[in-house]
Chains A and B, each alone.
Chain A
Amino acid sequence: MTDQQRDDLRHDEVGAGTTTGLAAPSVDVTDTRQNSLWSDAWRALMRNPLFWIGGVLGVLFLLVATFPGVFARGADPRDCSLSNSKLEPSAEHWFGYDQQGCDYLANVVYGARNSLIIGALAVVVILVLGVTVGALSGFFGGVVDSVLSRIADIFYALPLVLGALVILRSGSLGRGVVAVAIALSAFGWMTAMRLVRSQVIAVKSADYVAAARAMGASNSRILVRHILPNAVAPVLVYATITVGVLIAAEATLTFLGVGLQRPAISWGLQIDAGQSLLRTAPHLVFFPSIVLTLTVMAFVMMGDALRDALDPRQRS
Chain B
Amino acid sequence: MSTAWTSAPSGQARRGPGPILQVDDLRVQFRTGSGVVNAVNGVSYTLSEGQTLAILGESGSGKSVSAQAIMGILDMPPAEITSGRIVFEGRDLLTLSAEERRKVRGPGISMIFQDALSSLNPVYSVGFQIGEMFRAHRGMSRRDARRRAVELMDRVRIPAAAQRVNDYPHQFSGGMRQRVMIAMAIALDPRILIADEPTTALDVTVQAQVMDLLKDLQRDTGMGLVLITHDLGVVNEVADDVAVMYAGRIVERGTVDDVFGNPAHPYTEGLMGSIPQVESTGGRLRPIGGQPPNLAAIPSGCPFHPRCPRRRLGADALPGRHCAGDVPPLRLVIPGREAACHYSEEVLGV
Contact = CB atoms under 8 A, between A and B. Distances in A.
A29 B164 CA distance: 10
Given A10-B150, A28-B166, A32-B143, A210 B105 contact: no
Contacts of B26: none
Interface in A18-74: 26-29, 32-37, 40
Contact of A33 (B123, B146, B154): B146
Interface stretch (B108-116, B257-265, B289-297): B108-116
Interface in B126-160: 127-128, 131-133, 136-137, 142-143, 145-147, 150, 154, 160
B107 interface: yes
Interface string A178-194: 00000000000000000
A218 interface: yes
B181 interface: yes
B102 interface: yes
A263 interface: no
B118 interface: yes
Contacts of B123: 37, 229-230, 310-312
Interface residues on A, range: 35 or more
Contact of A207 (B118, B124, B150): B118
Contacts of A229: 121, 123-124
B93 interface: no
A217 B136 contact: yes
A211 B119 contact: yes
Interface string B165-181: 11010100000000001
A37 B124 contact: yes
Contacts of A169: none
Nearest to A217: B136
- Counting chain B CB atoms within 10 Å of each CB, the highest count among A35, A215, A218 belongs to A215
A91 interface: no
Interface in A90-117: none
A78 interface: no
A2 B145 CA distance: 25
B143 A33 contact: yes
B105 A214 contact: yes
B50 interface: no
A129 interface: no
- Counting chain A CB atoms within 10 Å of each CB, the highest count among B104, B124, B127 belongs to B124
B113 A207 contact: yes
B105 A208 contact: no
A207 to B, nearest CB: 4
Given A28-B162, A29-B162, A311-B123, A216 B102 contact: yes
A133 B113 CA distance: 31
A212 interface: yes
Contacts of B165: 28
Secondary structure of the B contact surface, majority rule: helix
Given A34-B127, A35-B128, A213-B105, A208 B120 contact: yes
B128 A34 contact: yes
B187 to A, nearest CB: 8
A216 B118 CA distance: 18
B163 A26 contact: yes
Contacts of A311: 122-123
B119 A34 contact: no
A41 to B, nearest CB: 9
Given A207-B115, A216-B102, A230-B123, A26 B162 contact: yes
B28 to A, nearest CB: 16
A206 interface: yes
Contacts of A230: 121-123
Contacts of A213: 71, 73, 105
A262 interface: no
Contacts of A211: 111, 113, 119-120, 181, 184
B139 to A, nearest CB: 13
Given A34-B127, A35-B125, A225-B132, A207 B119 contact: yes
Interface in A195-230: 206-208, 210-218, 221, 225-226, 229-230
Given A28-B163, A211-B181, A312-B168, A40 B125 contact: yes
B136 A208 contact: no
B119 A208 contact: yes
A43 to B, nearest CB: 11
B106 A215 contact: yes
Contacts of B118: 206-208
A14 interface: yes
B56 interface: no
Interface string B301-335: 00000000000000000000000000000000000
Interface string A247-279: 000000000000000000000000000000000
A32 B154 CA distance: 16
A150 interface: no
B103 interface: yes
Contacts of B122: 208, 230, 311-313
Contacts of A6: 162
Contacts of B73: 210, 213-214
Given A33-B143, A215-B136, 4 more contacts: A40-B125, A218-B136, A229-B124, A312-B123
**10 nearest A-B pairs in the assembled complex, by CB-CB distance:** A216-B106, A34-B142, A216-B105, A207-B118, A214-B111, A211-B119, A26-B162, A34-B146, A207-B119, A208-B121
